[in-house]
Amino acid sequence: MRKITRRSFAALAAGVTAARLNAGQPAPTGKIKITDLRCAILGGSPVVRVVTDQGISGYGQAESRKPYLKPMVLFYKDYILGEDPTDVERVMLKIRRLGAMKPWGAAVSAIETALWDIAGQVAGRPVYKLLGGKIRDRVRVYNGGVRFPMKRHMPEDYAEVMQKMKEAKEGFTIIKQAVGFHNAAMMRAIPDAFYDEPRGGAPHPFRGMLTERGMAHIVACVEAMKKVLGDQVALALDCGPGHTLKDAIKLARALEPLNLLWLEDILTGDYTPYPNADLYRDLTLSTSVPIHTGEQIYLRQNFKDLIETNAVDVIGPDPADVGGIAELKWVAEYADLHGIQIAPHGVFNGLIGLAAQVQVGAAMPQNYIAFEYPLGEPEWWYDIVDGLPDPIVKNGFIDVWDRPGLGVTFRVKEARARLREEDRGFFD
């Protein structure tokens, strides 16, 4: 990845973007209006562009696992045309209630992120300034998209991969690993790990009671990982969904001596359109291991039961699913009032999603732990954007940058060459 240089922004007070300054174009005058909403699929990632009559565009990105999202994004076009994109909440009031848990919430979330990108550019300020200002100069991340392949999914394989994680150039202070029903290969590594047959199809299809040997296998693999990491690097586990409440309690109690950072989505979670707050509260009250969930949830209202009943210790909304970055911050503030920590999801959110996470992470309350670090996939994504630091992660943190909006811009010529034929007009 080539070195990213810092550009001069001497005229930011005029409220214009770096691109417009470099082109010698005037600052926006009068009310700015949305003139178009576009969506292109770049390397599998849906990228949203909100176009305005002042020559300023904002960008958002949905998960790379959702290339089918384009028509859902464009569904909202007629609702926002003619609106002032800097009145972010006013625009969102027109479309937010038309979303839902995956995938519709992803379309709304990407549009919201693009609106903040425009608002920051018009104001000549980074988005975090519009969210209340930063309370930290760097944001902690955990490994997310940084993974190493395993051979057999036995304890020694998990120990080996943890050693590689520990030595990764990013210097992560937190590492999350999939176990249990979140890791089908682990459950297939030994015979009869649970009381149902292995299933395929949609992500995370397993569900049921663990056998004694299945429980012992998970515990042995976690112990092997923790032995490698010691107290130098925290270990979090992505566990489900699909475990029964009783198994979750037994597993959590068996792992208590290991001082894990959290157990995530062990009951419900990823691709489950309901949180089951009552069951999570039973689990949380039964163990000293912090319990985490929330990546699939759309909107603050759907966090209400989890937060108000203290059903979990940590929540993990994804800004690309929860309704956007302001919605994420609102949920974080409300969780903080109830003594709940926040560690946002975001493994597939790409480089624009990474920029959004850094901006909102800078302004998060003090219950913030870390966000899940996404990679640019395919690798050529790093060649089509400007504005990211190099290296991006240093000692487990990303330094917060001060460029206007999200602070990440496209190298249009290079990005246009990666567009599908049907998306050729995206940057026009």
Q: What are the pLDDT digits (tens) for 257-314?
A: 999 999 999 999 988 999 999 999 999 999 999 999 999 999 999 999 999 999 999 9
Q: What are the pLDDT digits (tens) for 15-29?
A: 344 444 333 344 566
Dihedral sign of CA atoms 208, 210, 214, 216 in order: positive
The pLDDT of 68-89, averaged and rounded, is 97
For residue 26, whether the previous peptide bond is cis, meaning omega lies within 30 degrees of 0, is no
The pLDDT of 88-106, averaged and rounded, is 94
pLDDT score of 169:
98
The pLDDT of 35-51, averaged and rounded, is 97
The pLDDT of 50-73, averaged and rounded, is 96
Residue 425 pLDDT greater than 50, yes or no: yes
**Mean pLDDT score of the chain:** 93
The pLDDT of 386-409, averaged and rounded, is 98
pLDDT score of 160:
98
pLDDT score of 23:
34
Q: What are the pLDDT digits (tens) for 168-184?
A: 999 999 999 999 999 99
Q: Are 267 and 276 in contact (CB under 8 A)?
A: yes
The pLDDT of 55-74, averaged and rounded, is 96
Structure tokens at 118: 């425009």
pLDDT score of 4:
40
Structure tokens at 47: 């990228």
In terms of Cα–Cα distance, which of 12, 51, 61, 23 is closest to 352?
Answer: 61
The pLDDT of 202-218, averaged and rounded, is 94
- CATH classification for the domain delimited by 12-125+413-423, as one of 3.40.50.1460, 1.10.10.10, 3.30.390.10, 3.30.310.50: 3.30.390.10
pLDDT score of 29:
60
Query: Any idea of the CA torsion for 415, 416, 418, 423, to the nearest 10 degrees?
Result: 130
pLDDT score of 204:
87
Task: Write a three-state SS string for the chain.
Answer: CCCCCCCCCCCHHHCCCHHHHHCCCCCCCCCCCEEEEEEEEECCEEEEEEEECCCCEEEEECCCCCHHHHHHHHCCHHHHCCCCCCCHHHHHHHHHHHCCCCCHHHHHHHHHHHHHHHHHHHHCCEHHHHCCCCCCCEEEEECCCCCCCCCCCCHHHHHHHHHHHHCCCCCCCEEEEECHHHCHHHHHCCCCCECCCCCCCCCCCCCECECHHHHHHHHHHHHHHHHHHCCCCEEEEECCCCECHHHHHHHHHHHHHHCCCEEECCCCCCCCCCCCHHHHHHHHCCCCCCEEECCCCCCHHHHHHHHHCCCCCEECCCCCCCCCHHHHHHHHHHHHHCCCEECCCCCCCHHHHHHHHHHHHHHCCCCECCEECCCCCCHHHHHCEECCCCCCCECCEEECCCCCECCCEECHHHHHCCCCHHHCCCCC
pLDDT score of 27:
55
Q: State the span(s) of the chain assigned CATH 3.30.390.10.
A: 12-125+413-423
Query: Domain 129-412, what fold?
Result: TIM Barrel (3.20.20)
Q: What are the pLDDT digits (tens) for 349-376?
A: 999 999 999 999 999 999 999 999 999 9
The span from the CA of 135 to the CA of 149, in Å, is 37
φ and ψ at residue 104, rounded to 5 degrees = -60, -35
Q: Are 189 and 153 in contact (CB under 8 A)?
A: yes
Q: State the span(s) of the chain assigned CATH 3.20.20.120.
A: 129-412
